[in-house]
Amino acid sequence: MSAMIALTQGDPSGIGPEIALKAWRVLREHDEAPRFLLLADPDLMRRTAHSLELDAPIIETTPSGAASAFDKGLPVVPLRASATGAPGAPARADAATTIEAIERAVELVFSGAARAVTTNPIAKAPLYDAGFAYPGHTEFLGELARRKIGAATRAVMMIWSEQLAVVPVTIHIPLARAPLALTRELITETALIVNEDLRMRFGVAAPRLAISGLNPHAGEDGTMGREEVDVIAPAIVKLRALGVDARGPYPADTMFHAKARARYDAALCMTHDQALIPIKTIAFETAVNVTLGLPFVRTSPDHGVAFDIAGKGVADPSSLIEALKLAARLAPARPA
pLDDT at 91: 87
Helix (H) or strand (E) holding 7: strand 5-8
- Dihedral of CA 159/164/168/173: which sign? negative
Mean pLDDT score, 253-259: 96
Contact indicator for 248, 232 with CB cutoff of 8 Å: yes
- What confidence score (pLDDT) does residue 1 get? 56
Residue 336 has pLDDT above 60, yes or no: no
Per-residue pLDDT tens over the stretch 145-178: 999 888 778 889 999 999 999 999 998 889 999 9
- Each residue's pLDDT tens digit, 137-148: 888 898 999 998
Confidence band, pLDDT 50/70/90 cuts, at residue 136 = confident
> What's the average model confidence in pLDDT over 3-16?
95
Could you tell me what percent of the chain has a pLDDT over 70? 99
β-partners of residue 5 are 36, 116
> Which domains does the chain carry?
1-152+295-336 (3.40.718.10), 163-282 (3.40.718.10)
pLDDT tier, 111 (very low <50, low <70, confident <90, very high otherwise): very high
Distances from the Cα of 260 to the Cα of 146, 163, 191, 257, angstroms: 37, 11, 19, 5
pLDDT in tens, 285-327: 889 999 999 999 999 998 899 999 999 999 999 999 999 999 9
| Mean local confidence (pLDDT), 124-141 | 85
Look at residue 1 and give its three-state secondary structure: coil
Question: What is the structure's pLDDT at 334?
Answer: 61
Reported as a single tens digit per residue, the pLDDT across 29-53 is 887 889 999 999 999 999 999 999 9
Q: What pLDDT, on the 0 to 100 scale, is given for residue 333?
A: 67
Mean of all residue pLDDT scores within the chain = 93
Query: Which letter, b or e, does each residue of 227-260 get, where b requires 16 or more Cβ atoms within 10 Å of its Cβ?
Result: bbeebbbebbebbeeeebebebbbbbeebbeeee
CA distance 37 to 76: 6
How many CB atoms neighbour CB 205 within 10 A? Answer: 6
Helix, strand, or coil here: 194?
helix
Alpha-carbon gap, residue 187 to 170, rounded angstroms = 9
CA atoms of 298 and 290, how far apart (whole Å): 6
Tell me what the mean pLDDT of segment 179-208 comes to.
96
Are 212 and 277 in contact by the 8 Å Cβ rule? The answer is no
For residue 84, pLDDT over 60 is answered with: yes
CA gap 123, 118 in Å, rounded:
16
- Distances, alpha carbon 192 to alpha carbons 145, 225, 234, 242, 244, in Å: 19, 25, 15, 9, 8
Axis crossing angle, helix 42-51 with helix 16-27, rounded to the nearest 10: 80
The angle subtended at Cα 171 by Cα 165 and Cα 177, nearest 5°, is 140
Going by pLDDT thresholds of 50, 70 and 90, the confidence category of residue 133 is: confident
Bridge partner residues of 2 (DSSP): none
